[in-house]
């Protein structure tokens, strides 16, 4: 069984985001970039499946500028067997990414495709669903548990939904997107970081895959959220009640 995992390069979760002065996006120059945290969870799950003997190969895929190779090297150091980099400097929206994945799936023929439930830069939460739609594959999104039955070629996925856990059964090949509680991703060890340097990364361009990067979507502007007003410390319960009644008008 072959597992393909999507790993997106995003601004590191710990970075304080700054909006560009011209409001066209956020500043990414000289900013720490990392693998999207939900993609780390996706890769960890694929590695655990391989380590349990149910899969033989894990292929990490990243789409974007040349620096995505760094993200792929991190994935290879975590344990992926090989990487695929589709190089593009264009603005990539989920549908374009999904179309690229459809082509890669045609080439690589994985049995399972695991993605993060969302990328923390665009918060779209669309790519996995779009890939499943384009490929006409079943999907198990927001996975908090994955159990594979290799013989029956079925994946049982617990999904985190608003009112609890929903369990779905998917015939393979299928798309799974990962939620936060699925697992705790491993850190890459130094020997594995060294080993990752010699693991292969195949390169494509969207043109070579016959995918035109176009979008019906236009970002009008990006602005910072309004600043929160400073709080006040009240000296008594009576003062608190007075403020809630007469200033906040909530009671
Ligand atoms: P999104 O729909 O943009 O929130 O992204 C959901 C998931 O799709 C991410 O967690 C990644 O696993 C995958 N993904 C999205 N964009 C890319 C990309 N450019 N390269 C690799 N994977 C991606």
The preferred substitution site among 6, 90, 117 for testing ligand 1, maximizing ligand atoms within 8 Å of CB, is 6
Per the structure block, which two tokens stand in for 7? 């790993």
Asked if 145 and 155 count as a contact pair (C-beta separation under 8 A), the reply is no
pLDDT band at 166 (very low <50, low <70, confident <90, very high): very high
Q: How far is the CA of 7 from the centre of ligand 1 (A)?
A: 7
The per-residue pLDDT for range 108-132, each reduced to its tens digit, is 999 999 999 999 999 999 999 999 9
Report the CATH fold assignment for 2-225.
Answer: Rossmann fold (3.40.50)
pLDDT band at 204 (very low <50, low <70, confident <90, very high): very high
Mean pLDDT of 171-193: 97
- The conformation of residue 42, written as its DSSP 8-state character, comes to H
3-state secondary structure of 242: helix
Rounded percentage of the chain residues whose pLDDT exceeds 90: 90
Mean pLDDT of 149-168: 95
Q: How far is the CA of 165 from the centre of ligand 1 (A)?
A: 24
**Residue 214 clears pLDDT 90, i.e. is over it:** no
In this structure, are strands 164-171 and 154-161 parallel, antiparallel, or unpaired? antiparallel
Q: How far is the CA of 242 from the centre of ligand 1 (A)?
A: 49
Q: How far is the CA of 5 from the centre of ligand 1 (A)?
A: 10
Binding site membership of 8 for ligand 1 (Cβ less than 6 Å): yes
Contacts of 242 (CB under 8 A, 6+ apart): none
Asked if 167 and 157 count as a contact pair (C-beta separation under 8 A), the reply is yes
For residue 123, the ligand 1 atom closest to its alpha carbon is 4
Residues pairing with 9 in the sheet: 35
State phi, psi for 51 to the nearest 5 degrees: -65, -25
- Supply the pTM of this predicted model: 0.91
Asked if 50 and 56 count as a contact pair (C-beta separation under 8 A), the reply is yes
> Can you tell me the distance from the alpha carbon of 110 to that of 45, in angstroms, rounded to the nearest whole number?
15
**Residue 99 clears pLDDT 90, i.e. is over it:** yes
| Whole-Å CA distances, 203 to 8, 42, 142, 177, 218 | 16, 22, 30, 24, 28
In sign, the C-alpha dihedral spanning 173, 83, 209, 134 is positive
The per-residue pLDDT for range 46-89, each reduced to its tens digit, is 999 999 999 999 999 999 999 999 999 999 999 999 999 999 99
Per the structure block, which two tokens stand in for 157? 């996925």
The preferred substitution site among 116, 131, 209, 213 for testing ligand 1, maximizing ligand atoms within 8 Å of CB, is 116
CA 40 to centroid of chain Cα atoms: 8
Per the structure block, which two tokens stand in for 79? 């344990």
For the chain, what are the domain ranges?
A: 2-225
3-state secondary structure of 246: helix
Q: How far is the CA of 78 from the centre of ligand 1 (A)?
A: 18
Q: How far is the CA of 246 from the centre of ligand 1 (A)?
A: 47
Instruction: Give the pLDDT confidence score for residue 226 in this predicted structure.
Output: 87
Q: Where are the alpha helices (DSSP H) in 58-162?
A: 68-78, 94-108, 127-135
Q: What is the dihedral of CA 2, 210, 121, 127, to 10 degrees?
A: -60
Binding site membership of 104 for ligand 1 (Cβ less than 6 Å): no
Binding site membership of 97 for ligand 1 (Cβ less than 6 Å): yes
* DSSP one-letter string for 68-81: HHHHHHHHHHHT-S
Q: How far is the CA of 238 from the centre of ligand 1 (A)?
A: 51
Whose Cα sits closest to atom 8 in ligand 1?
127
């Amino acid at each position: 069984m072959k597992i393909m995992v999507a790993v997106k390069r995003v601004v590191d979760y710990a970075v304080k985001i700054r909006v560009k002065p011209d409001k066209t996006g956020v500043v990414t120059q000289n900013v720490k970039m990392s693998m999207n945290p939900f993609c780390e969870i996706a890769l960890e799950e694929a590695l655990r499946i391989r380590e349990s003997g149910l899969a033989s190969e894990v292929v990490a895929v990243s789409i974007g500028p040349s620096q995505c190779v760094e993200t792929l090297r991190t994935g290879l150091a975590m344990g992926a067997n090989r990487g695929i980099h589709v190089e593009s400097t264009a603005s990539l929206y989920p549908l374009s990414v999904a179309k690229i994945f459809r082509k890669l799936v045609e080439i690589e023929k994985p049995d399972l495709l695991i993605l993060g439930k969302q990328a923390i830069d665009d918060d779209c939460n669309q790519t996995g669903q779009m890939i499943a739609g384009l490929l006409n594959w079943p999907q198990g999104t927001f996975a908090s548990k994955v159990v594979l039955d290799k013989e029956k070629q079925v994946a049982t996925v617990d999904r985190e939904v608003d009112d609890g856990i929903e369990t779905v059964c998917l015939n393979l090949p299928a798309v799974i997107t990962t939620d936060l509680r699925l697992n705790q991703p491993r850190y890459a060890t130094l020997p594995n970081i060294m080993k990752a340097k010699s693991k292969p990364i195949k390169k494509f361009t969207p043109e070579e895959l016959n995918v035109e990067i176009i979008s019906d979507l236009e970002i009008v502007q990006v602005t910072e959220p309004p600043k929160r007003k400073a709080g006040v410390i009240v000296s008594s319960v009576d003062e608190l009640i007075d403020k809630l009644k007469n200033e906040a008008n909530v009671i």
